[in-house]
Amino acid sequence: MNEKILQDNNKVIKRIFNLDTNAYVAGALDTKTKELLGLVASTVLRCDDCVKYHLETCHKEGLSKEEVVEALGIATLVGGTIVIPHLRRAYEYWDELEKL
């Protein structure tokens, strides 16, 4: 689907997609930290697809379950119990990732 959107050639959308790739490259902060930041932002804004995406990259970057869960704990505290259903789905998805 992303390809289709990018072929479509809308400048604003294309650049946002590019930025999204660039923003998580190591700089003053390393990639692990940046992925956790993306994960927490996605969780408090309650976007399951975004949470999944960041869990995948967190897993690829070698973050441990403990680290990911502490990040999700902060997200649940800041975002409230309204975050809990997303937390549940994040746990399930992380379990799937660990089984791969």
Site residues (CB under 8 A) for its own copies, limited to 67-96 = 67, 69-85, 87-88, 91-92
Euclidean distance between the first and final Cα of the chain, in Å? 24
# residues contacting its own copies (CB under 8 A):
58
Taking the alpha carbons of 29, 32, 33, 35 in that order, is the dihedral positive or negative?
Answer: positive
8 Å CB contact between 71 and 40: yes
Structure tokens at 58: 């967190």
Whole-number minimum distance, CB 93 to its own copies, in Å?
A: 12
C-alpha dist (Å) from residue 66 to 42, 63, 81? 18, 8, 20
6 binds its own copies (CB under 8 A): no
Instruction: Tell me, residue by residue from 19 to 48, as one string, x for binding to its own copies by CB under 8 A and - for no binding.
Output: xx-xxx--xxx---xx-xxx-xxx-xxxx-
Residues whose CB is less than 8 angstroms from the CB of residue 66 and which lie 6 or more positions away in sequence, other chains included: none
Q: Closest distance between its own copies and the C-beta of residue 51, in Å?
A: 10
* Residues binding its own copies (CB under 8 A): 1-2, 4-5, 8, 10-13, 15-17, 19-20, 22-24, 27-29, 33-34, 36-38, 40-42, 44-47, 49-50, 64, 66-67, 69-85, 87-88, 91-92
